Amino acid sequence: MEAVTNTVFTGSQVRLNTSDSLHFNENGEIPQKIQGPNDSFSKVLFDTINQANSLQQNSDELEEKMVMHPEQVNIDEVMIASEKARLSVSFFKSITDKAIRAYNEIMMIR
């Protein structure tokens, strides 16, 4: 087992090195404050839709290129693009389903 470096052990306390500006400092405070969201929900939603659509179009283009000119496309790129598109659409669908379910629950409270 290798020894831990750059860490000071003192009794029951361990001093850890920080590597990110959002880590706590020695006083237990976060030096850089996290800013709240600046974009509206609708902007984030439409940006997500556009990103999922873009990934799907890129995947379709690569698949078409693979069929027409297989020597110009690497199969790994096609599979990665296809999986990214599938995951983004699946993720967006699950968020949409949860939003609709939450809306229906709110309407049932009335």
Range of the domain at 51: 41-109
Instruction: Find the mean pLDDT for residues 3-18.
Output: 58
What average pLDDT does the structure give for the chain? 80
Split into its structural domains, the chain has a count of 1
Better pLDDT: 17 or 82: 82
Residue 70 lies in a domain: yes
Structure tokens at 84: 């990214």
Residue 1 vs residue 42, higher pLDDT = 42
Q: Minimal CA–CA distance to 54: which of 88, 91, 83?
A: 88
Give backbone dihedrals phi and psi of 28, rounded to 5 degrees, phi first.
Answer: 80, 20
Q: Which residue has the tokens 């030096």?
A: 31
C-beta of residue 49 within 8 angstroms of C-beta of residue 89:
no
Q: Domain for residue 69, yes or no?
A: yes
Q: Is residue 61 part of a domain?
A: yes
Tens digit of each residue's pLDDT (9 = 90 or more) over 24-65: 666 767 666 656 667 787 888 888 889 999 999 999 999 999
State the DSSP H helix or E strand holding residue 22, giving kind and residue range, or none if neither: none
Please tell me the predicted confidence (pLDDT) of residue 4.
44
* pLDDT tier for residue 1 given thresholds of 50, 70 and 90: very low
Establish if 9 belongs to a structural domain: no
Nearest to 59, CA basis, from 99, 26, 88: 88
Side chain identity at 89, as an amino acid letter? V
Residue 21's pLDDT is what?
Answer: 65
In a domain, 32, yes or no: no
